[in-house]
């Protein structure tokens, strides 16, 4: 079971094997989402709150640094290291557990965790959501979470480079 919400965020950082064990003992529907979560902003928090509202627990898969670099978001990305990004996510109230994945997509992690709900941003078309077929085939739900307009890490970095806020 995931640690209590008032505990050290590091206790929510789980290896893949521990994440699978946690998932098997988690109460109620488990929601899974994933991403780089490089520089946390309001859009991320609103997204995680909405994802968590879809079930009784939320586990977040975070791209490792190598995996994030392969997404080609820019030569200097991610700005924050994988353990730091995971730690910040773990400190957020809606997040019950965090695990890293090094693959190009979270498909293997989704297959291992067998979440009841798969949440992804509404900017993804249903047919483009990795793992949607696996979750649906098991009787789970795929949810496209509306995004908060005007918030993105790429946009934030561009504004910082221009000296604007």
- Is the peptide bond between 109 and the residue preceding it cis, with omega within 30 degrees of 0? no
Strands 57-63 and 117-121: unpaired
* Sequence-ordered list of residues with C-beta below 8 angstroms from that of 149, at least 6 positions apart, any chain: none
CATH architecture of 9-162: 3-Layer(aba) Sandwich (3.40)
* Sequence-ordered list of residues with C-beta below 8 angstroms from that of 75, at least 6 positions apart, any chain: none
Model-level pTM greater than 0.85? yes
E-strand ranges in the chain read 30-35, 57-63, 97-101, 117-121, 141-145
Burial of 56 (0-12, 13-18, 19+ CB in 10 A): middle
Task: Look up residue 10 and give its two tokens.
Answer: 């590091």
User: One digit per residue, pLDDT tens: the chain, 165 residues?
Assistant: 455 555 799 999 999 999 999 999 998 899 999 999 988 888 889 999 999 999 999 999 999 999 998 887 667 778 899 999 999 999 999 999 999 999 999 999 999 999 999 999 988 899 999 999 999 999 999 999 987 776 565 555 565 567 765
Q: What angle do CA 123, 129, 133 make, to 5 degrees?
A: 150
């Amino acid at each position: 079971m995931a640690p209590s919400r008032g505990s050290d965020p590091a206790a929510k950082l789980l290896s893949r094997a521990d994440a699978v064990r946690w998932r098997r003992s988690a109460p109620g529907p488990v929601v899974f989402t994933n991403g780089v979560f490089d520089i946390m902003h309001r859009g991320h928090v609103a997204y995680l709150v909405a994802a968590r509202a879809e079930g009784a627990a939320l586990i977040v898969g975070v791209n490792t640094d190598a995996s994030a670099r392969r997404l080609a978001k820019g030569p200097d990305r991610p700005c924050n290291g994988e353990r730091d990004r995971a730690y910040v996510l773990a400190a957020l109230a809606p997040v019950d557990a965090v695990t890293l994945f090094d693959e190009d997509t979270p498909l293997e992690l989704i297959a291992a965790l067998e979440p009841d709900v798969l949440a992804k941003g509404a900017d993804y078309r249903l047919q483009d959501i990795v793992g949607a077929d696996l979750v649906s085939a098991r009787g789970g739900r795929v949810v496209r979470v509306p995004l908060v307009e005007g918030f993105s890490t790429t946009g934030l970095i561009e504004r910082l480079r221009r000296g604007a806020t």
